[in-house]
């Protein structure tokens, strides 16, 4: 059978070549989106990372049995269109839990302890606590979690060891980690000194963090987003930082990547940025590849995949 990789983002695809060859499958890597659109028409399986696969594209697939995404989110795939054609859609929801949780906690602690300002002060020859004042003890703060899945749960368990009050809103969570108080969406915004976003991107969550909700937050609060960029209306967040409504924001994902105009970030106080790297470690990349490959092999051999999104 024929397996197509729509967009190659890994240092090597030797894992894919070896595994599919071992099972007697042909494996082709598209050199660009145009070639990918042609190749997937007769593909039995599609591996993808970022390439958009809307209903129109899925409609051209004549033989596909599975679309396997290397990452967690599947917002680049029209899942309903795939399900309507009986095409399995899979992801790898557990490959970078440790990495993203660590990144979120690192961003949160760096802001709460004023590390970006402290670093800049020393480089400018400034000294003393006035360079970071005011800082508050973490255990005196309320930390809110918007979404408590694998990653949000790991963040909650880590931060719990440092003593803050933990609250969370997640309408889909069967249970929350010990010590985490469930609250409404309005309450998680209103009561959080530090708000961490771990929600998926859906029509309901797009633009969830906007000017109105930021206005409902405490003055001087912090926001961390290592989930999906469009959860935040970026212009509203930057305005809140400039006005001092928010004291800080740690952002790893953006509505458009790369940012079309980085000048919008100039002279914005309290920003701690990373270029969508929260998911990354060498181990995480290999785990993502191995698990995505496994979903394809299982479906092509008539077995049930481990991470079925639809149908």
Q: Mean pLDDT over residues 266-280, rounded?
A: 95
pLDDT band at 130 (very low <50, low <70, confident <90, very high): very high
pLDDT of 291 strictly over 90:
yes
Quote the tokens at residue 177: 């980690």
> Are 150 and 186 part of one and the same domain?
yes
Query: CA-to-CA distance for 66 and 45, rounded, in angstroms?
Result: 5
Owning domain of residue 86: 2-95+282-310
Q: What pLDDT is attached to residue 73?
A: 85
> Are 114 and 23 part of one and the same domain?
no
Q: Mean pLDDT over residues 108-114, rounded?
A: 97
228 catalytic per annotation: yes
> Are 207 and 295 part of one and the same domain?
no
Q: Mean pLDDT over residues 127-156, rounded?
A: 96
List the 142-146 sheet strands across, edge first: 180-182, 165-169, 142-146, 194-197, 221-225, 246-251, 271-273
Contact 99, 281 (CB under 8 A): yes
> Are 305 and 250 part of one and the same domain?
no
pLDDT digits (tens, 9 = 90+) for 154-205: 999 999 999 999 999 999 998 999 999 999 999 999 999 999 999 998 899 9
Using alpha carbons, select from 95, 99, 100, 97 the residue that is nearest to residue 225. Answer: 100
> Are 162 and 240 part of one and the same domain?
yes
Query: CA-to-CA distance for 283 and 286, rounded, in angstroms?
Result: 5
pLDDT digits (tens, 9 = 90+) for 57-80: 999 999 999 999 999 889 899 999
List 187, 276, 287, 290, catalytic entry: 276
pLDDT of 54 strictly over 90:
yes
pLDDT of 311 strictly over 90:
no
Q: What pLDDT is attached to residue 213?
A: 98
103 catalytic per annotation: no
Average pLDDT, the chain: 96
Instruction: Tell the residue number behind the tokens 């599975």, with chain if given.
Output: 66
Please tell me whether residue 290 adopts helix, strand or coil conformation.
helix
Percent above pLDDT 70 for the chain:
100
> Are 42 and 110 part of one and the same domain?
no
> Are 130 and 206 part of one and the same domain?
yes
DSSP conformation letters of 255-289: SSSS-S-GGGGTT-TTEEE-SS-TT--HHHHHHHH
Q: What pLDDT is attached to residue 44?
A: 98
23 catalytic per annotation: no
List 103, 198, 228, 247, catalytic entry: 228
DSSP 8-state symbol, 227: S
Q: Is the dihedral of CA 150, 153, 157, 159 positive or negative?
A: positive
Contact 196, 144 (CB under 8 A): yes
Look up the CATH number of the domain holding residue 170.
3.40.50.720
> Are 45 and 67 part of one and the same domain?
yes
> Are 112 and 241 part of one and the same domain?
yes
Q: What pLDDT is attached to residue 247?
A: 97
List 257, 282, 287, 301, catalytic entry: 257
Q: Mean pLDDT over residues 268-292, rounded?
A: 96
Contact 72, 48 (CB under 8 A): no
> Are 137 and 226 part of one and the same domain?
yes
Q: What pLDDT is attached to residue 64?
A: 97
Contact 28, 2 (CB under 8 A): yes
> Are 171 and 208 part of one and the same domain?
yes
Q: What pLDDT is attached to residue 28?
A: 97
Domain tally, the chain: 2
pLDDT digits (tens, 9 = 90+) for 10-46: 999 999 999 999 999 999 999 999 999 999 999 999 9
> Are 224 and 297 part of one and the same domain?
no
Query: CA-to-CA distance for 249 and 272, rounded, in angstroms?
Result: 6
**10 Å Cβ neighbour count for 292?**
25
Quote the tokens at residue 251: 């952002």
User: Residues 145-161, buried b or exposed e (16+ Cβ, 10 A)?
Assistant: bbbbbbbbbbbbeebbe
pLDDT of 86 strictly over 90:
yes
Q: What pLDDT is attached to residue 271?
A: 96
């Amino acid at each position: 059978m024929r397996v197509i990789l729509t967009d190659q983002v890994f240092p090597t695809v030797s894992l894919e070549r070896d595994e599919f060859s071992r099972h007697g499958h042909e494996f082709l890597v598209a050199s660009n989106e145009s070639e990918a659109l042609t190749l997937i028409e007769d593909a039995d399986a599609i591996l993808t990372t970022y390439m958009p696969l809307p209903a129109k594209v899925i409609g051209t697939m004549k033989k596909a049995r599975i679309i396997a995404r290397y990452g967690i989110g599947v917002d680049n795939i029209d899942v309903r269109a795939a399900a309507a054609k009986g095409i399995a859609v899979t992801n790898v929801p557990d490959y970078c839990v440790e990495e993203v949780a660590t990144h979120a906690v690192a961003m949160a602690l760096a802001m709460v302890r004023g590390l970006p300002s402290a670093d800049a002060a020393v480089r400018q020859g400034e000294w003393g606590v006035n360079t970071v004042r005011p800082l508050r003890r973490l255990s005196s703060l309320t930390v809110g979690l918007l979404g408590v899945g694998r990653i949000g749960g790991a963040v909650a368990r880590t931060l719990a060891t440092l003593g803050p009050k933990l609250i969370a809103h997640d309408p889909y969570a069967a249970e929350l980690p010990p010590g985490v108080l469930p609250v409404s969406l309005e309450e998680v915004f209103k009561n959080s000194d530090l708000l961490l976003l771990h929600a998926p991107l859906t029509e309901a969550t797009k633009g969830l963090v906007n000017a109105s909700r930021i206005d409902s937050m405490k003055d001087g609060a912090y926001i961390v987003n290592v989930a999906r960029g469009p959860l935040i209306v970026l212009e509203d967040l930057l305005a809140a930082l400039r006005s001092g409504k928010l004291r800080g924001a740690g952002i790893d994902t953006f509505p458009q990547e790369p940012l079309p105009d980085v000048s919008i970030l100039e002279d914005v106080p309290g920003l701690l940025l990373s270029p969508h790297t929260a998911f990354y470690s060498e181990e995480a990349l290999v785990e993502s590849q191995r698990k995505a490959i496994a979903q394809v092999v299982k479906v092509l051999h008539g077995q049930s995949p481990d991470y079925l999104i639809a149908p």
